[in-house]
Amino acid sequence: MTPYNYSERIVPKPILPETAREVSGTPSNTNFAYATNFHLTIPKVSEAVYFCTEVVFPEFSCDAIRLPARFAPTLKFYGNKINHGDMTVKFIVNENYSNYRQVESWFKSTLVWEDFFRTGDDFRQLSNVGHLLILSNKKNPIARFVLNGLFVTNLTNIEYNSALTDTPVATATATFQFSTYDLGTL
């Protein structure tokens, strides 16, 4: 039997963080994200997007799966389907209403099924791809949401009131549905 040689023993090296910042837990970017730093692009309604003042990006959720147990509380596990809500876009209506009409015509074109099937067009005319760019504090793009299968599902009314003392601008809100979205960094 050969004696064990301690000098030949392999000792694993400790894994050290690359910088002291990783040890302290301090993030590399401590700037806050401002809710005013965004740019929305939807080619089918480019005029409405130009006057866009607010975008509410939807939440997403996953329902838990509940399994009954005989003599114990119900067991809960994470689900297998992610649900997301609607995206709403608020925009200022311009003086000749061309941007409102642009959203309205896209909305109406998704509802005319007889004309759709008569012309032989495909489903790509009903939906679109949109991009929501997130900008840094210096207004440089840092992230992008790509919205696939985007289509409008609701267009709100425009309120008129001559009794107001201020002169508010006319606004409308469009609600969009989409199939999927991807968040990527630039």
* Distance between CA atoms of residues 23 and 151, nearest Å: 46
Mean pLDDT for the stretch of residues 49-73:
87
pLDDT score for 128 = 84
pLDDT score for 16 = 58
Q: DSSP H helical segments within the chain, as ranges?
A: 20-24, 46-50, 98-109, 113-119
pLDDT score for 95 = 92
pLDDT score for 156 = 94
Q: pTM of the entire structure?
A: 0.71
Whether the predicted pLDDT of 165 surpasses 90:
no
Whether the predicted pLDDT of 3 surpasses 80:
no
Distances (CA, A) of 45 to 61, 102, 105, 148: 28, 6, 10, 15
Give the pLDDT band of residue 9 (cuts 50, 70, 90).
Answer: low
Continuous segment of H or E residues that includes residue 5: none
Mean pLDDT for the stretch of residues 139-160:
91
Please state which of the ranges 16-20, 47-51, 145-149 shows the lowest mean pLDDT: 16-20
pLDDT score for 68 = 87
Pick the CATH number of 29-56+87-185 from 2.30.30, 2.30.110, 1.25.40, 2.40.30: 2.30.110
